Amino acid sequence: MSAPEVPMTLSQPVLALLCIFLARAPVPSDLEALTRQLGDAQKWERRKAVEGLAKLGGHEAMTLLIGALRDPAGEVADTAEWYVGQVSSQSLIDLLHGKQGLRSKDDRVRLRAAGALARVEGTVDGEALIRLLSEKEPEWKCAALHAIEWQASADHLDGDREDKIRPALEKALKRGREGQTRAAALRALVALDPGGTEQDVLAALGDDAHQVRVAALGLGVSQERLVAGLGDKSLAVRVAAINGLAAAQSAPAARALAAHLEVEENLRLQWRTVERLQALSGLAH
Protein backbone atom coordinates (compact mmCIF):
# COMPACT_ATOMS: atom_id res chain seq x y z
CA MET A 1 0.00 0.00 0.00
CA SER A 2 1.51 3.27 -1.07
CA ALA A 3 1.75 6.17 1.35
CA PRO A 4 -0.80 8.90 0.67
CA GLU A 5 0.25 12.10 -0.91
CA VAL A 6 0.36 15.09 1.28
CA PRO A 7 -3.04 16.48 0.97
CA MET A 8 -3.52 20.13 -0.06
CA THR A 9 -6.92 21.38 1.04
CA LEU A 10 -6.40 25.01 0.11
CA SER A 11 -9.25 26.24 -2.02
CA GLN A 12 -6.83 27.74 -4.59
CA PRO A 13 -4.20 25.30 -5.87
CA VAL A 14 -2.36 28.33 -7.20
CA LEU A 15 -1.49 29.26 -3.60
CA ALA A 16 1.69 27.19 -3.75
CA LEU A 17 2.82 29.16 -6.78
CA LEU A 18 1.82 32.38 -5.05
CA CYS A 19 4.01 31.57 -2.08
CA ILE A 20 6.99 30.35 -4.08
CA PHE A 21 7.14 32.25 -7.33
CA LEU A 22 5.50 35.61 -6.73
CA ALA A 23 8.09 38.35 -6.52
CA ARG A 24 8.18 39.67 -3.00
CA ALA A 25 9.01 43.09 -1.68
CA PRO A 26 11.29 43.15 1.38
CA VAL A 27 9.35 42.56 4.59
CA PRO A 28 10.21 43.94 8.01
CA SER A 29 11.68 41.45 10.47
CA ASP A 30 10.77 43.22 13.69
CA LEU A 31 7.90 41.53 15.52
CA GLU A 32 6.27 44.80 16.56
CA ALA A 33 6.43 46.16 13.00
CA LEU A 34 5.01 42.92 11.61
CA THR A 35 2.18 43.02 14.12
CA ARG A 36 1.25 46.52 12.95
CA GLN A 37 1.51 45.49 9.33
CA LEU A 38 -0.78 42.53 10.00
CA GLY A 39 -3.51 45.08 10.79
CA ASP A 40 -2.98 47.10 7.59
CA ALA A 41 -6.03 47.95 5.50
CA GLN A 42 -4.32 46.59 2.36
CA LYS A 43 -4.48 42.82 1.99
CA TRP A 44 -1.13 42.63 0.19
CA GLU A 45 0.56 44.38 3.09
CA ARG A 46 -1.03 41.87 5.47
CA ARG A 47 0.20 39.02 3.28
CA LYS A 48 3.73 40.44 3.47
CA ALA A 49 3.35 40.50 7.24
CA VAL A 50 2.35 36.84 7.21
CA GLU A 51 5.47 35.99 5.22
CA GLY A 52 7.59 38.07 7.58
CA LEU A 53 6.17 36.32 10.63
CA ALA A 54 6.86 32.92 9.09
CA LYS A 55 10.43 33.95 8.34
CA LEU A 56 10.90 35.39 11.82
CA GLY A 57 9.64 32.25 13.53
CA GLY A 58 9.33 31.77 17.27
CA HIS A 59 6.26 31.04 19.36
CA GLU A 60 4.89 34.57 19.44
CA ALA A 61 5.26 35.14 15.71
CA MET A 62 3.69 31.77 14.87
CA THR A 63 0.81 32.44 17.26
CA LEU A 64 0.11 35.64 15.32
CA LEU A 65 0.33 33.60 12.15
CA ILE A 66 -2.34 31.21 13.40
CA GLY A 67 -4.52 34.22 14.16
CA ALA A 68 -4.15 35.29 10.53
CA LEU A 69 -6.20 32.23 9.50
CA ARG A 70 -9.26 34.39 10.16
CA ASP A 71 -8.18 37.22 7.84
CA PRO A 72 -11.11 38.16 5.56
CA ALA A 73 -8.86 38.14 2.48
CA GLY A 74 -8.26 34.68 1.11
CA GLU A 75 -4.83 35.65 -0.18
CA VAL A 76 -3.77 36.43 3.39
CA ALA A 77 -5.49 33.58 5.24
CA ASP A 78 -4.51 30.92 2.73
CA THR A 79 -0.88 32.03 2.83
CA ALA A 80 -1.05 31.82 6.62
CA GLU A 81 -2.41 28.28 6.33
CA TRP A 82 0.51 27.31 4.11
CA TYR A 83 3.04 28.43 6.69
CA VAL A 84 1.08 27.22 9.73
CA GLY A 85 1.15 23.74 8.20
CA GLN A 86 4.92 23.74 8.68
CA VAL A 87 4.90 24.09 12.46
CA SER A 88 6.19 21.32 14.71
CA SER A 89 5.71 22.87 18.15
CA GLN A 90 3.08 20.90 20.04
CA SER A 91 1.83 23.99 21.86
CA LEU A 92 1.17 25.66 18.50
CA ILE A 93 -0.51 22.54 17.14
CA ASP A 94 -2.73 22.53 20.21
CA LEU A 95 -3.83 26.07 19.33
CA LEU A 96 -5.12 24.69 16.04
CA HIS A 97 -7.27 22.24 17.98
CA GLY A 98 -8.88 25.08 19.93
CA LYS A 99 -10.87 28.26 19.33
CA GLN A 100 -8.27 29.65 16.95
CA GLY A 101 -8.64 26.55 14.80
CA LEU A 102 -11.04 23.63 14.70
CA ARG A 103 -13.34 25.09 17.38
CA SER A 104 -13.57 28.54 15.78
CA LYS A 105 -17.01 29.95 15.04
CA ASP A 106 -15.66 31.02 11.64
CA ASP A 107 -16.19 28.17 9.19
CA ARG A 108 -13.28 29.25 6.98
CA VAL A 109 -10.94 29.15 9.97
CA ARG A 110 -12.06 25.60 10.75
CA LEU A 111 -11.36 24.60 7.15
CA ARG A 112 -7.91 26.17 7.11
CA ALA A 113 -7.03 24.70 10.49
CA ALA A 114 -7.86 21.21 9.21
CA GLY A 115 -5.75 21.85 6.14
CA ALA A 116 -2.80 22.93 8.24
CA LEU A 117 -3.19 19.99 10.63
CA ALA A 118 -2.81 17.61 7.72
CA ARG A 119 0.78 18.79 7.29
CA VAL A 120 2.10 19.66 10.74
CA GLU A 121 4.78 17.48 12.32
CA GLY A 122 3.42 16.62 15.72
CA THR A 123 0.56 14.92 17.51
CA VAL A 124 -2.85 15.74 16.03
CA ASP A 125 -6.15 15.15 17.84
CA GLY A 126 -8.25 12.83 15.70
CA GLU A 127 -11.30 13.30 17.89
CA ALA A 128 -11.18 17.04 17.25
CA LEU A 129 -10.97 16.42 13.52
CA ILE A 130 -13.98 14.09 13.34
CA ARG A 131 -16.18 16.91 14.64
CA LEU A 132 -15.85 18.48 11.21
CA LEU A 133 -17.64 15.48 9.71
CA SER A 134 -20.89 17.12 10.82
CA GLU A 135 -20.23 20.13 8.56
CA LYS A 136 -22.68 20.59 5.68
CA GLU A 137 -20.16 21.21 2.92
CA PRO A 138 -18.06 18.31 1.60
CA GLU A 139 -14.93 20.49 1.42
CA TRP A 140 -14.85 20.76 5.20
CA LYS A 141 -15.44 17.05 5.73
CA CYS A 142 -12.80 16.10 3.18
CA ALA A 143 -10.28 18.44 4.81
CA ALA A 144 -10.74 16.66 8.13
CA LEU A 145 -10.58 13.24 6.49
CA HIS A 146 -7.40 14.09 4.61
CA ALA A 147 -5.81 15.27 7.86
CA ILE A 148 -6.78 12.01 9.57
CA GLU A 149 -5.44 9.98 6.63
CA TRP A 150 -2.08 11.71 6.56
CA GLN A 151 -1.50 11.87 10.30
CA ALA A 152 -2.63 8.27 10.82
CA SER A 153 -0.16 7.18 8.15
CA ALA A 154 2.57 9.16 9.92
CA ASP A 155 1.52 7.62 13.26
CA HIS A 156 0.87 11.10 14.66
CA LEU A 157 -2.87 10.70 15.25
CA ASP A 158 -4.06 10.87 18.85
CA GLY A 159 -7.48 9.98 20.26
CA ASP A 160 -9.68 6.94 20.77
CA ARG A 161 -9.23 5.17 17.46
CA GLU A 162 -11.40 2.13 18.13
CA ASP A 163 -14.46 3.61 19.82
CA LYS A 164 -14.61 7.13 18.36
CA ILE A 165 -12.47 7.78 15.30
CA ARG A 166 -13.04 4.52 13.42
CA PRO A 167 -16.85 4.51 13.92
CA ALA A 168 -16.98 8.10 12.64
CA LEU A 169 -15.00 7.14 9.55
CA GLU A 170 -17.17 4.09 8.91
CA LYS A 171 -20.28 6.25 9.16
CA ALA A 172 -18.83 8.77 6.69
CA LEU A 173 -17.97 5.92 4.30
CA LYS A 174 -21.35 4.25 4.43
CA ARG A 175 -23.68 7.24 4.81
CA GLY A 176 -21.82 10.13 3.22
CA ARG A 177 -23.93 11.80 0.55
CA GLU A 178 -21.06 12.89 -1.67
CA GLY A 179 -18.74 10.58 -3.53
CA GLN A 180 -15.65 12.63 -2.67
CA THR A 181 -16.50 12.43 1.02
CA ARG A 182 -16.90 8.65 0.93
CA ALA A 183 -13.66 8.32 -1.03
CA ALA A 184 -11.78 10.43 1.53
CA ALA A 185 -13.34 8.40 4.36
CA LEU A 186 -12.18 5.16 2.75
CA ARG A 187 -8.59 6.37 2.45
CA ALA A 188 -8.64 7.64 6.03
CA LEU A 189 -10.06 4.35 7.29
CA VAL A 190 -7.37 2.32 5.54
CA ALA A 191 -4.66 4.63 6.91
CA LEU A 192 -6.11 4.21 10.39
CA ASP A 193 -6.29 0.41 10.20
CA PRO A 194 -4.36 -0.95 7.19
CA GLY A 195 -4.83 -4.57 8.19
CA GLY A 196 -8.54 -4.51 9.01
CA THR A 197 -10.21 -2.81 6.06
CA GLU A 198 -9.92 -5.29 3.18
CA GLN A 199 -13.67 -5.86 3.03
CA ASP A 200 -14.34 -2.12 3.06
CA VAL A 201 -12.04 -1.68 0.06
CA LEU A 202 -13.62 -4.57 -1.85
CA ALA A 203 -17.10 -3.22 -1.17
CA ALA A 204 -16.01 0.22 -2.36
CA LEU A 205 -15.15 -1.21 -5.78
CA GLY A 206 -18.88 -1.51 -6.37
CA ASP A 207 -19.81 1.95 -5.10
CA ASP A 208 -22.06 4.07 -7.33
CA ALA A 209 -19.65 7.03 -7.09
CA HIS A 210 -16.63 6.84 -9.37
CA GLN A 211 -14.53 8.74 -6.79
CA VAL A 212 -14.93 5.85 -4.36
CA ARG A 213 -14.04 3.24 -6.96
CA VAL A 214 -10.95 5.24 -7.92
CA ALA A 215 -9.90 5.43 -4.27
CA ALA A 216 -10.37 1.69 -3.82
CA LEU A 217 -8.20 0.85 -6.83
CA GLY A 218 -5.39 2.85 -5.27
CA LEU A 219 -5.43 0.96 -1.99
CA GLY A 220 -3.52 -2.19 -2.82
CA VAL A 221 -6.21 -4.29 -4.49
CA SER A 222 -5.23 -7.39 -6.42
CA GLN A 223 -4.14 -7.32 -10.04
CA GLU A 224 -7.34 -9.15 -10.92
CA ARG A 225 -9.37 -6.26 -9.47
CA LEU A 226 -7.28 -3.75 -11.43
CA VAL A 227 -7.93 -5.65 -14.66
CA ALA A 228 -11.65 -5.59 -13.90
CA GLY A 229 -11.39 -1.83 -13.45
CA LEU A 230 -10.28 -1.49 -17.07
CA GLY A 231 -13.86 -2.22 -18.07
CA ASP A 232 -15.44 0.43 -15.85
CA LYS A 233 -17.76 2.93 -17.53
CA SER A 234 -15.98 5.81 -15.78
CA LEU A 235 -12.96 7.31 -17.49
CA ALA A 236 -11.42 8.17 -14.11
CA VAL A 237 -11.71 4.59 -12.91
CA ARG A 238 -10.09 3.23 -16.07
CA VAL A 239 -7.24 5.72 -15.62
CA ALA A 240 -6.74 4.47 -12.06
CA ALA A 241 -6.75 0.86 -13.26
CA ILE A 242 -4.20 1.61 -16.00
CA ASN A 243 -1.94 3.39 -13.54
CA GLY A 244 -2.28 0.59 -11.00
CA LEU A 245 -1.35 -2.09 -13.53
CA ALA A 246 1.59 -0.06 -14.78
CA ALA A 247 2.82 0.32 -11.21
CA ALA A 248 2.66 -3.49 -10.77
CA GLN A 249 5.49 -3.81 -13.32
CA SER A 250 4.69 -7.42 -14.09
CA ALA A 251 4.33 -9.41 -17.30
CA PRO A 252 0.63 -10.23 -16.63
CA ALA A 253 -0.05 -6.53 -16.03
CA ALA A 254 1.64 -5.62 -19.31
CA ARG A 255 -0.42 -8.22 -21.15
CA ALA A 256 -3.60 -6.85 -19.60
CA LEU A 257 -2.71 -3.33 -20.71
CA ALA A 258 -1.91 -4.53 -24.23
CA ALA A 259 -5.26 -6.31 -24.43
CA HIS A 260 -7.04 -3.23 -23.13
CA LEU A 261 -5.43 -1.09 -25.81
CA GLU A 262 -7.37 -3.09 -28.41
CA VAL A 263 -10.76 -2.22 -26.90
CA GLU A 264 -10.30 1.22 -25.31
CA GLU A 265 -12.34 3.76 -27.28
CA ASN A 266 -11.09 6.96 -25.64
CA LEU A 267 -8.14 8.37 -27.57
CA ARG A 268 -6.48 9.94 -24.52
CA LEU A 269 -6.64 6.65 -22.64
CA GLN A 270 -5.25 4.85 -25.66
CA TRP A 271 -2.22 7.10 -25.58
CA ARG A 272 -1.92 6.78 -21.80
CA THR A 273 -1.93 3.01 -22.14
CA VAL A 274 0.73 3.18 -24.86
CA GLU A 275 2.89 5.40 -22.63
CA ARG A 276 2.57 2.96 -19.74
CA LEU A 277 3.46 0.03 -21.96
CA GLN A 278 6.48 1.92 -23.29
CA ALA A 279 7.63 2.61 -19.76
CA LEU A 280 7.24 -1.05 -18.83
CA SER A 281 9.16 -2.23 -21.88
CA GLY A 282 11.81 0.46 -21.73
CA LEU A 283 11.11 1.33 -25.34
CA ALA A 284 10.48 4.82 -26.71
CA HIS A 285 8.07 3.60 -29.41
Q: What are the pLDDT digits (tens) for 175-232?
A: 999 999 999 999 999 999 999 999 999 999 999 999 999 999 999 999 999 999 999 9
For residues 9 and 148, the model is more confident at 148
What confidence category does residue 284 fall into, taking pLDDT thresholds of 50, 70 and 90?
very low
pLDDT for position 251:
92
What confidence category does residue 22 fall into, taking pLDDT thresholds of 50, 70 and 90?
very low
pLDDT for position 281:
81
Question: Residue 188 in contact with residue 169, Cβ under 8 Å?
Answer: yes
Average pLDDT, the chain: 90
% residues pLDDT > 70 (the chain): 88
Average the pLDDT over 235-255 and give the result.
95
For residues 13 and 52, the model is more confident at 52
- Which residues have C-beta within 8 Å of that of residue 275, sequence separation ≥ 6? none
Distances (CA, A) of 39 to 45, 50, 64, 75, 161: 9, 11, 11, 15, 41
- Compute, in degrees rounded to 10, the torsion defined by CA atoms 84, 86, 89, 92: 10
Q: Containing H/E element for 157? A: strand 157-158
Q: Is 70 exceeded by the pLDDT of residue 283? A: no
For residues 284 and 281, the model is more confident at 281
pLDDT for position 53:
95
- Which residues have C-beta within 8 Å of that of residue 156, sequence separation ≥ 6? 121, 122, 123, 124
pLDDT for position 19:
55
Q: Is 90 exceeded by the pLDDT of residue 23? A: no
Q: Indicate the pTM of the whole model.
A: 0.85
Q: Containing H/E element for 124? A: strand 124-125
**What Rg value do the Cα atoms of the chain yield, rounded?**
22
Q: For residue range 113-162, list pLDDT tens digits in order.
A: 999 999 999 999 999 999 999 999 999 999 999 999 999 999 999 999 99
